[in-house]
Chain A
């Protein structure tokens, strides 16, 4: 499926009241214990969190934003997992299969948004992160968080629909929005899009990251591997043959020299003999 048709989430900072219903719904759906209002950061038992960010021009002007897996269009986590335990589904959500996972935690290191969490205190640990309610969405239902939000701050749809919606929101109230849809192009595009009244680096959309999908950085090198391997192998074979040959030639020449010397000496001795004999 084209990325445009994949399921996605749009989060609008200007509409969020900070009520925390999305976090609560998420934890309920996943069966996590704990107080949703206390969730300040994602964890192994909280797949999304609410945090505040203030307007850089007016520190009293505070907004709430959600942090969760961005379900990148070309996810780093999927590309780095050595065993394919993480998968970008056709439907859109990035899902995890604990039975495949070997626990190397490269996904955690690689994720540009620091999303995956780990069960550090379990002898049989798993990677934990939002799966965009893959089960619900497969049945055509919205995510638990989108259903719970009564302000239209978290909404669910195809990526195309949501980009459309975001554009029209910016167009209708240009004063309320910074004219940028975070996640449209960043790191190759994400499936969780953000609208904000001001530029926000807190969302993890580091301008340094650019718009190339992250997996490109490693793939650029990985695709050269067959070539490098063959070149290294061929060079080694050639060098082996060359130095072997050089040594053989050197030995041969040395031997010839010795033989020639010996022959000369013999000849000399012989002629000496002859001279002696004649003399």
Chain B
């Protein structure tokens, strides 16, 4: 048993340290030699992977947090409650990572606080900056409930509980604003962004796609953590989420096609040019395929199919954001932007750290309902530490079961 567990463990541990080590070296280079030393960014492509993936996808994939908390606390859909906390945690970590990624991407990260005092309300970026700051605070406060519970700070927990509803409402408002604002950011480049992606509807499309990918992420993340922590899946709940996901994808797909048709660009989508192919990948992978898979209630009830459908939706979403931020610019800007391996490595390092943090928090705080009942006796007894405890907690998330 022990050796069977140990092998994949050391494998993933190796990968983690490799990513961390390389990432840290690259970090030093980045901050001592400038962005040019590690990235493929240029005057033609001032924004690359760190904006396209780390920021746009990071924020989008964290949308599950506000969608599920809204469903539970605002719509009072009680059966979703068991997945509210993990979704919240994912969102919280997602935003923290987005901020760390921004520290890498900003040329002068030590000025990151400037939007607080130097206002420019005509700037979408200014609005995004404020929303990210405020929403991260809201998420921290929402998450604090788990901390209070763990340390049994009854009074604080009580206050936090009273604040839950206002916090959730605030969270929904802020998320609505900045999920769409990430799309608004691109409205200023009608001459640069390819017509398959540039649309006056970008803000709405960004919002609706974020809601659906938020749902998909909840399913993906439940599946991953059920594997890592050896928990059962809340299949009836997730099947329900899958059903809503089909609806959300349907709405998004309809809006996307309607928008293309409206602007006379539907034909453009099938010319099989570079842009058209990328659009077809994005739409086929992220909208059509998951809808086909999840349309059948039998497949929705199957763990494998549900996971596959959601995973495709997430992948399509990522391709969409990369298209908006990179592919769509290549026609007007000339040449190609391909991220450097260092940009990729630093991104992977951040993702790995995110997994590690998630796992550590799940092991130490009452994120999942069952664990809420377990007292911390086990950790107080140094003698006879169970086998699992000898491995770093983040590793457990990576263990193949």
Chain A residues close to B by CB (< 8 Å): 43, 76, 79-85, 100-106, 108-110, 112, 114, 116-126, 206, 208-209, 214-215, 217-222, 225, 228-229, 232-233, 236-237, 239-240, 243-244, 246-247
Contact = CB atoms under 8 A, between A and B. Distances in A.
B108 A125 contact: yes
Given A43-B43, A121-B37, A209-B191, 16 more contacts: A81-B120, A85-B118, A100-B114, A101-B108, A102-B108, A102-B111, A109-B47, A114-B333, A120-B41, A215-B188, A217-B187, A218-B187, A221-B187, A221-B203, A225-B177, A229-B176
B43 A103 contact: no
A101 B125 CA distance: 13
Looking at B47, B176, B185, which has the most chain A CB atoms within 10 Å of its CB? B176
A233 B34 contact: no
Interface residues of B, number: 58
Interface stretch (B67-75, B90-98, B291-299, B391-399): B67-75
A119 B184 contact: no
Interface stretch (B165-173, B214-222, B246-254, B347-355): B165-173
Contacts of A122: 34
B189 interface: yes
Given A76-B188, A118-B46, A122-B34, A102 B109 contact: yes
Contacts of B109: 102-103
Contacts of A85: 118
A73 B166 CA distance: 43
Contacts of B119: 84
Nearest to B329: A109
Contact of B46 (A79, A100, A101, A109): A109
Contact of A124 (B108, B114, B172, B203): B108
Given A218-B184, A221-B184, A79 B107 contact: no
Contacts of B106: 102-104
Interface in B189-243: 189-192, 203
B67 to A, nearest CB: 12
B107 A219 contact: no
Contacts of B190: 208-209, 214, 217
B354 to A, nearest CB: 22
Contact of A103 (B108, B129, B177, B333): B108
B34 A206 contact: no
B32 A83 contact: no
A102 B169 contact: no
A218 B169 contact: no
